[in-house]
Structure formats: C-alpha cells, structure tokens
Amino acid sequence: DFKARYKSLKSCKHGFNILVILHQEELILLNQKICNLKNCIKLFMILYAQHMMGMNKFKKRINKHNKRDKG
C-alpha cells in the first residue's frame, strides 16, 4: 500500500533527505530543510521509485560528500 509506505518514509528524515537529493540531482547537506515538493504525492511516488532503485548508489555519493565536508 503506497500510503503506508509514504507514511513510514515520511517519518524517516534520512529517507526524505535522500529523496531531496534525488529530486535536485545534486548533493546537498543531509540536514537541509525538506522542500515543499514533498507535499506533491505524484512527485513523491516518482522520487520513491528512484530512491528504491538508486539508494545504494546515492549512499556512496552521500558518504563521499560527507567526507569532503569534514575537510
């Protein structure tokens, strides 16, 4: 059920930050505020699908990005 998955992912800040990164197609800080586009269910469904398919790839990019931030 999509609504149930939406709710569970909505409660996961880390998951939403990954979705925002996918949405913007660039790396942003994980603690950046979530944009209002999360209110668009249709967009969220697209992002959710991308997230499930590309999570490992983006985790690697996030880790790389975090290491760079630390200097």
3-state secondary structure the chain: CHHHHHHHHHCCHHHHHHHHHHHHCCCCCCCCCCCHHHHCHHHHHHHHHHHHHHHHHHHHHHHHHHHHHHC
Parse the chain into domains and list their residue ranges. 2-70
Question: Which range (5-9, 37-41, 45-49, 55-59) has the least confidence?
Answer: 37-41
pLDDT band at 28 (very low <50, low <70, confident <90, very high): very low
- pTM equals 0.23
Residue 55 is encoded by which pair of tokens? 């999570």
Please give the average per-residue pLDDT across 37-54, as a whole number: 60
